[in-house]
Amino acid sequence: MILGSCLCGRVQYAITCEITSMGLCHCHNCQKITGSAFTPAAWITYDSVEWREGEEHLTRYESSPGIFRCFCRHCGSSLIGVAPDHNLAGVYARTLDGDHGFAPSTHIHTSSKAPWYQIQDHLPQLPTE
């Protein structure tokens, strides 16, 4: 089981499945929600997320039809993006507690990449928005 939390610690979650993929998402929404060039996210099934503490402190924002961004209403930490109808979730990697040795395997939505950011690695790049 992998644990994660927000900055203030009010919201805590567990992932009950193995993380098999981590990507760097360059879509416009991920750029806006993090204030950065991309979001490192671990891809899992939504039903493997357990809110252990503080679910009542979560705010869910529908950033695209059927896609919700969940963040702590106290500290503002973005924790996870979910598409419940597809049983898919992207856990924002730096909300995971501890170092689990995960590394990104791909860049996604590179057609929306920030113009000032140049990808410097040799990971596969998927341009589709």
Confidence grade of residue 75 (pLDDT, cut at 50, 70, 90): very high
Identify the three-state secondary structure at position 64: strand
Amino acid residing at 127: P
pLDDT reading at 110 higher than 90: yes
**Mean pLDDT of the 46-53 span:** 96
CA-closest candidate to residue 20, choices 79, 103, 129: 103
Output the pTM of the full model. Answer: 0.87
Please list, in sequence order, all residues whose beta carbon lies within 8 angstroms of the beta carbon of residue 75, skipping any fewer than 6 positions away.
Answer: 6, 7, 8, 10
- DSSP for 14-37, written as a single string: EE-S---EEEEE--HHHHHHHTSS
Q: What angle do CA 109, 5, 65 make, to 5 degrees?
A: 40
Task: Catalogue all structural domains in the chain, each as residue range(s) with its CATH number.
Answer: 2-126 (2.170.150.70)
Q: What angle do CA 57, 98, 43 make, to 5 degrees?
A: 70
